[in-house]
């Protein structure tokens, strides 16, 4: 953002010689502190605020998250900079319907991001008449033992179609645990939401071999609305 700000100000044509001033504040994920700092920014006659947790102010807000619970109708000064979760959940539900699966397990992080995304998925699956939809939440600060325990629990439910909606995880712990439990075979179907694209982009070229654990997982192609299977499904 600082680089973009500098490029804009150096160009004589973008803002016709006016300067674009970037004010950055770190609330350390504290809602109260964030509210105070936001009002301080407003007092500096800011024209827009870019936030990562939505707060309601009577000025344009650019929201850099895919929260499907927010809408321009509810918040008239709200501009979402990425697509809503409901878009990718619609794609996933359509794929589930296309292959005739009627039972699905969703693994998600138990915070606003995870719960709102899974709520959107539930709405889309209802449209496709999916018979059973099991929700398995993971704690925000999860341990590998939490993942293993949850996956073992999921085996008792019956369905073999999984949709994973968590935060970016460079260790790919869910799929590593699933591989250890022999759940990455052709008997299982795995979907990952757009968190996986962010995770994959963070891998350096020399560390790409670690991505082998994703073999067979259906992942989104960034900014395309298209999903593809990573590698080939092994048995």
**Domain limits, the chain:** 2-80, 85-229
pTM of the model: 0.64
pLDDT of residue 235: 35
Burial 173-205 (b: 16+ CB within 10 A, else e): bbbbbbbeeebbeeebbbbbbbbbbebbeeeee
pLDDT of residue 52: 58
Most confident residue range from 111-115, 204-208, 227-231: 111-115
Nearest partner of 65 among 194, 202, 169, judged by Cα? 194
Nearest partner of 158 among 87, 101, 88, judged by Cα? 101
pLDDT in tens, 26-55: 777 666 677 777 777 777 777 777 765 544
Q: Look up the CATH architecture of domain 85-229.
A: 3-Layer(aba) Sandwich (3.40)
pLDDT of residue 134: 95
pLDDT in tens, 135-158: 999 998 889 999 999 999 999 998
pLDDT of residue 3: 85
């Amino acid at each position: 953002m600082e680089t973009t700000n500098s490029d804009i100000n150096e160009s004589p044509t973008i803002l016709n010689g006016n300067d674009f001033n970037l004010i950055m504040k770190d609330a350390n994920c504290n809602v109260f502190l964030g509210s105070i700092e936001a009002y301080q920014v407003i007092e500096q006659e800011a024209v827009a605020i870019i936030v990562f947790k939505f707060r309601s102010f009577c000025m344009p807000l650019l929201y850099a998250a895919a929260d499907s619970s927010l809408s321009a109708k509810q918040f008239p000064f709200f501009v979402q900079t990425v697509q809503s979760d409901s878009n990718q959940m619609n794609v996933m539900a359509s794929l589930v319907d296309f292959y005739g699966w009627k039972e699905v397990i969703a693994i998600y992080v138990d915070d606003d991001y995870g719960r709102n995304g899974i709520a959107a998925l539930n709405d889309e699956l209802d449209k496709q008449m999916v018979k059973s939809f099991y929700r398995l939440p993971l704690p925000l600060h999860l341990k590998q033992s939490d993942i293993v325990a949850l996956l073992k629990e999921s085996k008792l439910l019956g369905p073999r179609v999984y949709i994973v909606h968590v935060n970016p995880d460079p260790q790919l712990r869910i799929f590593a645990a699933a591989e250890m439990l022999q759940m990455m075979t052709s008997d299982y179907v795995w979907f990952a939401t757009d968190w996986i694209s962010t995770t994959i982009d963070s891998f350096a070229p020399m560390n790409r071999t670690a991505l082998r654990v994703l073999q067979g997982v259906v992942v989104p192609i960034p900014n395309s609305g298209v999903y593809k299977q990573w590698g080939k499904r092994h048995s």
